[in-house]
């Protein structure tokens, strides 16, 4: 009996946990079910643990691809961040980011991508919040229509802060998937300072829990709505994101046209900033009203771009240029080449044969993973080629954009999402495409980055709004005046 009382005393002294709240949401893309979101929230003493698991299913050229993201945040009852966990699976390997507050207030961060782990220290950004802190901010600011405020959301996957401006629209009656009607508070969120209208609408209850959200995604309408587990886990429907992101070519881009300079006239619908970028191989001119001239292949021998940034030579969690397998692969491919240009050409040719399996089921893999599996599509080619270049001391970056395909996924003569590498050689940026085996004038650049997947997806966000009106070979432009100035961001005007 004495032993039983002792055990009972110990149990009573333990922190009391509030039973976990389990909530589900169905995920829709243009009205078709493509996934589910499960949210668990547990309160234990003065700590709140929020866990979110998003399962997203889509197809690319009829090849199914399943993506999973799990986020977990641990916070104090007042919303102070204590720890985070972010797991993403976009390929055969899990990518993991974790953070834990130390006694000195710093966060110890661990990132594991492609099987390689790195540990760093992070000074927590002032005012940045995780899930519970964001919910408490919404409740504290209130729901009076017209109220505006800013939230600093910490992205556990990127370890970056997004400044989000929030506007309270008002109370609305919303019909939920089970046909019930709820009176909710409509809030509109947008990234502070963004020139593009990519606002997200959310509807929350009195306690600040999200019950419905609507956001743009690659030209689609992404919607999440609260429902029961059976509704959220119902069978998904097929939707081919690659097919939807294709842009019809205004003409066949025959081989003779692809190897010569080309001027494109491109219109962009909606409130989008100029989605095209200036490079040493591409010039962009705004005609106004969302119409742009994009010249590809008219490059000069000198660079109009800034030189390499520190990030263009450094390894990162996705471009593991310091990993032994990547270094060995780069040395093997480059052989005894004597110049950086020769090294890049040899590595490009080498990777065209080395990546043997065209894996459209691979969402986004790191350089180290691709070096091991030898599977992937254009993004895997670009990330690995960039890593190999940096491993040999050549500044390099990943370019995202679109490229012409004669046939792809049952469609003919289309421009499709694409990625390739650029290297800094002889004081200018030069493109290399191991997936296509060559770089040509059908490569239209929309962004550059250091190989992280979110930069690729951000550059692709306007694809559904783009239409290529004309493609003229450079030989047809002899009598056409050259625009006065190329502009990044749409500020300049053509005559």
User: Which residue, 176, 170, 172, is CA-closest to 212?
Assistant: 176
Confidence (pLDDT) at 195: 58
483 compared with 211, residue with greater pLDDT: 211
Q: Is the dihedral of CA 411, 360, 469, 220 positive or negative?
A: positive
Q: How far is 224 from 28, CA to CA, in rounded Å?
A: 6
Band of residue 374 on the pLDDT scale cut at 50, 70, 90: very high
Q: What is the tens place of the pLDDT at every residue in 457-495?
A: 776 778 888 999 999 998 776 555 555 544 444 333 332
User: Which residue, 278, 192, 280, is CA-closest to 492?
Assistant: 278
Would the pLDDT of 17 be above 50? no
Q: How far is 120 from 307, CA to CA, in rounded Å?
A: 28
456 compared with 385, residue with greater pLDDT: 385
Band of residue 13 on the pLDDT scale cut at 50, 70, 90: very low
Q: What is the tens place of the pLDDT at every residue in 30-71?
A: 888 989 999 999 998 899 999 999 998 877 766 777 888 999
Structural contact between residues 295 and 266, judged by C-beta atoms closer than 8 angstroms: no
Would the pLDDT of 384 be above 60? yes
147 compared with 307, residue with greater pLDDT: 147
Q: How far is 362 from 67, CA to CA, in rounded Å?
A: 9
Would the pLDDT of 248 be above 80? yes
306 compared with 211, residue with greater pLDDT: 211
Q: How far is 129 from 142, CA to CA, in rounded Å?
A: 18
Packing angle, helices 378-391 and 340-354, rounded to 10: 140
Three-point CA angle 472, 478, 483, nearest 5°? 80
Q: How far is 143 from 248, CA to CA, in rounded Å?
A: 45
Q: How far is 70 from 73, CA to CA, in rounded Å?
A: 10
Would the pLDDT of 113 be above 90? no
When mean pLDDT is compared across 83-87, 110-114, 324-328, 418-422, the lowest value belongs to 110-114
């Amino acid at each position: 009996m004495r032993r039983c009382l002792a055990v009972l005393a110990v149990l009573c002294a333990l922190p009391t946990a509030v039973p976990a709240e389990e909530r589900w949401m169905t995920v829709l893309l243009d009205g078709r079910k493509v996934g589910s979101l499960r949210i668990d929230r547990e309160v234990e003493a003065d700590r709140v643990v929020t866990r979110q698991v998003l399962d997203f299913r889509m197809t690319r050229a009829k090849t199914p691809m399943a993506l999973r993201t799990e986020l977990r945040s641990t916070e104090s009852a007042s919303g102070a961040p204590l720890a985070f966990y972010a797991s993403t699976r976009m390929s055969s390997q899990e990518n993991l980011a974790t953070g834990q507050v130390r006694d000195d207030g710093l966060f110890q961060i661990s990132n594991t991508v492609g099987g390689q782990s790195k540990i760093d220290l992070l000074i927590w950004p002032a005012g940045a919040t995780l899930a519970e802190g964001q919910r408490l901010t919404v409740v504290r600011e209130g729901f009076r229509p017209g109220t505006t405020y800013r939230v600093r959301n910490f992205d556990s996957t990127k370890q970056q802060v997004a400044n989000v401006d929030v506007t309270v629209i008002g109370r609305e009656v919303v019909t939920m998937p089970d046909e019930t009607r709820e009176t909710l508070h409509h809030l509109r969120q947008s990234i502070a300072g963004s020139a593009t209208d990519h606002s997200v609408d959310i509807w929350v209850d009195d306690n600040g829990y999200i019950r419905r959200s609507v956001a743009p995604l690659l030209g689609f309408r992404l919607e999440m709505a609260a429902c029961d587990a059976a509704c959220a886990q119902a069978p998904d429907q097929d939707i081919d994101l690659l097919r939807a992101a294709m842009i019809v070519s205004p003409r066949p881009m025959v081989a003779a046209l692809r190897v010569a300079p080309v001027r494109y006239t491109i219109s962009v619908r909606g409130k989008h900033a100029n989605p095209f970028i200036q490079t040493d191989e591409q010039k962009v001119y705004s005609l106004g009203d969302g119409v742009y001239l994009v010249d590809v292949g008219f490059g000069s021998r000198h660079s109009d771009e800034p030189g390499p940034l520190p990030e263009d030579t450094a390894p990162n969690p996705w471009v593991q240029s310091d990993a032994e397998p990547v270094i060995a692969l780069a040395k093997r491919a480059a052989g005894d080449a004597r110049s950086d240009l020769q090294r890049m050409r040899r590595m490009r040719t080498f990777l065209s044969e080395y990546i043997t399996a065209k894996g459209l089921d691979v969402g986004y893999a790191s350089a180290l993973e691709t070096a091991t599996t030898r599977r992937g599509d254009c993004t895997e080619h670009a990330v690995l080629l960039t890593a190999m270049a940096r491993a040999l001391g050549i500044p390099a970056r990943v370019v995202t954009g679109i490229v012409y395909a004669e046939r792809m996924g049952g469609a003919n003569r289309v421009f499709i999402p694409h990625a390739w590498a650029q290297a800094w050689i002889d004081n200018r940026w030069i493109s290399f495409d191991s997936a296509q085996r060559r770089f040509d004038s059908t490569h239209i650049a929309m962004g550059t980055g250091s190989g992280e997947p979110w930069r690729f997806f951000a550059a692709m966000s306007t694809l559904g709004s783009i239409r290529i009106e004309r493609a003229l070979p450079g030989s047809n432009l002899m009598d056409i005046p050259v625009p006065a100035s190329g502009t990044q961001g749409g500020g300049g005007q053509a005559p």
